[in-house]
Each structure stands twice: as C-alpha cells, then as structure tokens.
Amino acid sequence: MERRSAAGLVALWTTIAGSAALLCGRRSVPDLEREIRRRYSEPAELETAWRHTLAGLTAGERRLLAAHLPPTGRVLDIGCATGRVTLALGRAGYGAVGVDVNEAMIRRAGTLRRAAGLPLRFGVMDARRLGVRDGAFDAVLMVGSVIGYIHGREGRRRALREAYRVLRPGGVLVVVTPSRASSWKLRAWFAGMDVLARALRLAGRAAAWEPGDRLGPAWSGDRTHLVYWHMYAPEELEADLRAAGLAVVDASPDAYMMAVVARRPPAG
C-alpha cells in the first residue's frame, strides 16, 4: 500500500513538474519530439505495442471501421506502431499501408507482416509530410492518440491536410483520440492549466502551451517518464478537420477515446 502511494506521489509530481515546464516553455518542440521517438523505441513500449497487435482490434473498433470503411480499397494507417490495425485490415482483404515516425515500431511491424504472410507495406513517415501521391487512398486512419503526439495546432492541422491530400475525392478519414472533455477530472485539470497560462500572460510571460497540452504516460503505463501529447476537445477536433477541408460526417464525442469520421468532399 505504501509503495503504491509513493509511486502515485512520484507520478503526480512528475506530471506537475512537466506541466510547469510546458507552460513556461522550458521544453523545446525538438526535445519533446525526440523524447516521444526515444520512449517508443524502448523495450517496454515495443513489447506493449506487440501485445496490443497480437490482441487485434477491439469490438468497438471493428464496428467503427465496418460502418465507415468501403468494402474494399486502399487504406493508409497513420501512426501504425507495430501494425495492429494495418494487419487487421490486411486480413480483411484491404490494400493496407502502415506508416509511423518510429523506426523501431516499423521494424516490429515488418516482422509481424512476414509471420502473417500478408502483402502489406510499412514505412517510416511523418504524418505532416507523407511521401504518398495525391488521392492514393480510399480511407485514412489515425487511431489511438496519433494526432495528439504532434505538437502545436498548426502541426496537427498540417497532418490533417496531408490526410486530405492523400485521400481520393469522397474518401474517408477516421480519427480516434483521447478527449479532454470526457471526465470532470480532465476538465478540471485543463481548466487549472488554462488559469495558470492566463496568469503567465498577464505577468508578461508568453506561455508556450495550448489548451489540451499535457505530459502523460506512454503505452506501458510507466508514469515516471512521461511524454508530450495533446488531448483534443471534440469541438476543437471538428474545427481542425473543417480547416483541413474535410466534412465531419459522424462523431462519438463523449467517450474517453472519441471517434470522429470526416470525408473529403467529392469532386465537382
């Protein structure tokens, strides 16, 4: 019991200290991005991703994709990690491509692809700069905090514009990401962060922070070394999708892992 309490205090202090560093601009964007890559290359995170991949899609994810993906076609899975969603799509007969910014994750995905004997492709790419031709895919997926690991609203909008670019006219984008509006604890935490940011601005210090920015645990749940991620509010995500040229067609905004589905308007 005492050990759990001590671990909880360490986690709380790490979160508060990290949040203060974000607010005051003591963590640069390159540092935050390097930390995400480094953290997700560690054995504990790779093993966690591997286990999630072997477990496959959740029942909710299967329903979501069955409702919104075309029955066949080419699908780009952005932030694929070790290929959990990409492999499931390949088994369902889609021409799936998985991309991730983390080289170690992509190597693991390649190992799983070879073991499964599926004709899939994996590659290292940044969601903000996809090495993919215009209109190449019938659907694009960003499932599981993918968009949230991108620092800065303009960077996230750039990734959404890239998704728009690689979708064919009429193609669909499915985003699943944590919502900061899903519980009173999260709403209270971010309200407090916003008050501190406003106080810094009144004191003449520009807060290098946007509402929704936080440091949180990676997949393994280890709270002693946290990484940056942005938690969207539902209306914020919908606004960013519209700014990228996409039309929101469905949303489940109340869940912690909210799902928003958007479509590139048909040509003409």
| Domain coordinates in residue numbering, the chain | 1-39+183-231, 59-179+237-268
Token pair for 220: 């393994």
What is the arithmetic mean of pLDDT over 125-140? 97
Pick from 14, 25, 256: nearest CA to 151: 25
pLDDT bin (cut points 50, 70, 90) of residue 14 is low
The pLDDT assigned to 264 comes to 97
- Domain covering 59-179+237-268 assigned CATH 3.40.50.150 in the classification: yes
Among 14-28, 44-58, 145-159, 191-205, which stretch is predicted with the lowest mean pLDDT?
A: 14-28
pTM, entire model = 0.90
Give me the residues paired with residue 178 across strands: 257
Across the range 10-21, mean pLDDT stands at: 62
The string of pLDDT tens digits covering residues 68-126 is: 999 999 999 999 999 999 999 999 999 999 999 999 999 999 999 999 999 999 999 99
Backbone angles phi, psi at 200, to 5 degrees: -60, -40
215-234 per-position pLDDT tens digit: 877 777 666 678 888 999 99
Question: What residues does 261 pair with on adjacent strands?
Answer: 174, 250
Task: Compute CA distances 131 → 121, 125, 165, 198, whole Å.
Answer: 13, 7, 11, 39
Predicted pLDDT of residue 218: 75
* DSSP calls for 174-233: EEEEEBTTSSHHHHHHHHHHHHHHHHHHHTT------TTEEEE--TT---SS-EEEEPBP
